[in-house]
Amino acid sequence: MREIIFRGRRIDNSEFVYGYLWTKDNCTAGRRTLIMDSIGKNYEVDPETVGMFAGVTDINSKNAYCDDILSYKGIIGVVKYGIYENSTDDNKGGHLGFYVFFKEEQFYRKDIMYWLGKGEHKHLLDGGENQ
């Protein structure tokens, strides 16, 4: 079974925290996005920085999360989750899962396992911090 972990930047110091994602509604403070770490401590995080663990690692054994950047020999893509089709795919209904999005439409494979086996990745927001 795949481990479900999220990553987000803490509001108080901008460091990444890893764990379980949840939200808390408060009449005075509004909705807050929090991540509870492995010892049960909660941290408020910026919701724009939250990414879900894709369940796979790159060639350096770094966990890949949504919105991470993948690069290989000048080819740049971003890890996404949703429905996607490969350019050479006979399955016209598409696939559901983690894939690599390319800004410019290319005839590249989109399946994440293909790319993570070839190159390194970094977080979209800061250029390199991964657990």
Q: Tell me what pLDDT residue 47 has.
A: 93
Q: Tell me what pLDDT residue 122 has.
A: 62
Q: Tell me what pLDDT residue 128 has.
A: 44
Question: Could you tell me the pTM of the whole model?
Answer: 0.75
Q: Tell me what pLDDT residue 87 has.
A: 66
CB 13 within 8 A of CB 6: no
**H or E segment to which residue 60 belongs:** none
Q: Tell me what pLDDT residue 3 has.
A: 78
- The Cα–Cα gap between 114 and 60 comes to 15
By three-state DSSP, how is residue 27 classified?
coil
Structure tokens at 60: 């350096």
By three-state DSSP, how is residue 56 classified?
strand
- The Cα–Cα gap between 16 and 78 comes to 19
Mark the ranges of the chain whose per-residue pLDDT is less than 70: 1-2, 28-29, 87-93, 105-106, 119-131
